[in-house]
Each structure stands twice: as C-alpha cells, then as structure tokens.
A and B are shown apart, each in its own frame.
Chain A
Amino acid sequence: MKNNSKKTNSMKRPFGGIVLDSSFRIIIPFTLVYGIYILTHGEYSPGGGFQAGALVAVGIVLVRLIQGADKDSFNVTGPLAIVCAGVGTFIYAATGWLTMIGGGKFLDYTYLPVPMHHWGELHALGILMIEVGVTVCVMMTIIDIMDAIIERLDDDTEEEVVCDE
C-alpha cells in the first residue's frame, strides 16, 4: 500500500475524490444489474452476450480505476482473468458437446439432455448457456487487456520495477 502511493504516474493509484468515491457506490450496482439484465433478456430484446460482457467489465474496470488496483474487492487480475476468458469459451463449446451427447448435431439445442417438454424452452436454455459463455469471455478479455496496459504503463513510466516483497 505504501510503496505504490509514492509513484505519481501510476494508474494503480486511486484517483477518486469524494464525489467519485460516493457516486460509484451507486453507479456500479446498477451497471452490474443492467449487464445481467441484458444477458438474460437478450433472447427477447436487443442485447446479448457481447454487450452484457462489456457492461459487466465496465463495472469492474471503474471500480479498479477509482479505488485503486490493489483493493481486494472486485479485483480480477493476471492469470485468473486469462483463465476465466478461456473458461467462457469452453462453456460455449461444452454446450455444443452437450447437444451431441443428447443425440443431435453440434449446437442443435433441441437435443439438449435436459428434461424439458417444449422444444422452445430447450432453445431458450441453449441460447442462454452460450451467451453466458460469451459474456464471461468478453468480460475477462477486457479486464485482461486493461490489466496488461496498466502494468506496461507502469513499467514504461518507472525506471525500476518494484517487486513486492
């Protein structure tokens, strides 16, 4: 905490004043809830996985910019973000494999091995599953790139890299 606060150009340093510190506590929950709404309601209205992932990522990126990158809350950094982006892609592909297990073709949601009676519900479930995968992948990719940019910027503005002991 102390060794990062003396660097003036670091993007890890929190820059929020009292206005940002107070208002982001109201803005962030609405952003996250709106992202989940766009994800789950994407079958009926404009929206979907990509937009929902961008919104949820905006929530986490704003928290990291305002509160500083060293806070533990809402902090997804480094290898965890890369792994989660891969997991999102895997969720999408696993949906396709589930339909193949159920006896259909790849991504043919009518054959999902889930006990539902109407095929429309199966299609809605399949679309929701792949959009969850897309959301996780997009969200973690955005956080990942931002993390890399911050670390690179810190490395370029400093002369020596401070390794945390």
Chain B
Amino acid sequence: MSKGLATILMTVITVIFCMCTVLLPPIGDPNSAPNQHVTPYYIEHAKEDTGSPNIVTATLADYRGFDTLWETSVMFVSGLTACLILLNNTEVGDKILNKGKKGGKKREE
C-alpha cells in the first residue's frame, strides 16, 4: 500500500520535473537570466579582484568561499553518516572505535 503510494508520488514528481525542463533557457544563451546577473562581472573582474588567473578558483574559493565552506562541511557530514550507517553493528562499531584502546569494550552478556 505505502510502496504503491510512494511509486505514484515519485512518478508524478518525476513527470513534473521533466516537464519543467522545457521552460529552462537553452544552454549558452547569453540573454538568459543566469548569464546576465553576476557572471559577466566575475568574468571581467576576477583577475583584479582576487589576483588569481584561474576564474574557476577565483569564483570557487574567493567570491563564493562561504559556499565552499559548507560544501566541505557536507562532505564531512556525509562521510560521518556513511560510517555510522555502515557500522550500525555494536560489535564492529566497538572494534573500530575502540581499536586504539587495549581490549576495547566487549559486550557484557
């Protein structure tokens, strides 16, 4: 029951997203909204604003440094979460997390 409901819901959402793609501007259109807002400023002023000859690095690390900070945090949290899910077993988790200590915490009965 709930699986069928989830399937129908995912199908509807997928169809809506696919239908919305025809509303997007064509790739490389110079008159589209993303290419009119800050992109020309970044391309023109990246060298004298940041001193970096690489526009990608200038945008990623200097103009959008705050964005990259949380991107790194997402990487850290995702790795931590993957470990917690994969080690969702008491004995293995104890064995890994107490590897440094001698005779890590055994299961008491």
Contact = CB atoms under 8 A, between A and B. Distances in A.
A165 to B, nearest CB: 8
A86 to B, nearest CB: 6
A161 interface: yes
Interface residues of B, number: 36
Given A88-B76, A123-B52, A127-B62, A161 B92 contact: yes
Q: Summarize A's interface: helix, strand, loop or mixed.
A: helix
A86 B92 CA distance: 22
A151 B92 contact: yes
Interface string A121-165: 101101100110110011011101101110110010000010101
Interface in A69-118: 77-79, 82, 85-86, 88-89, 92-93, 96, 106-107, 109
B66 interface: yes
A64 B57 CA distance: 32
Interface of A: 42-46, 48, 77-79, 82, 85-86, 88-89, 92-93, 96, 106-107, 109, 119-121, 123-124, 126-127, 130-131, 133-134, 137-138, 140-142, 144-145, 147-149, 151-152, 155, 161, 163, 165
Given A42-B57, A85-B76, 12 more contacts: A42-B54, A48-B57, A48-B60, A96-B65, A96-B66, A123-B50, A123-B52, A134-B68, A137-B76, A148-B83, A151-B92, A152-B89
The 4 closest A-B pairs by CB, nearest first: A120-B51, A141-B79, A107-B65, A148-B86
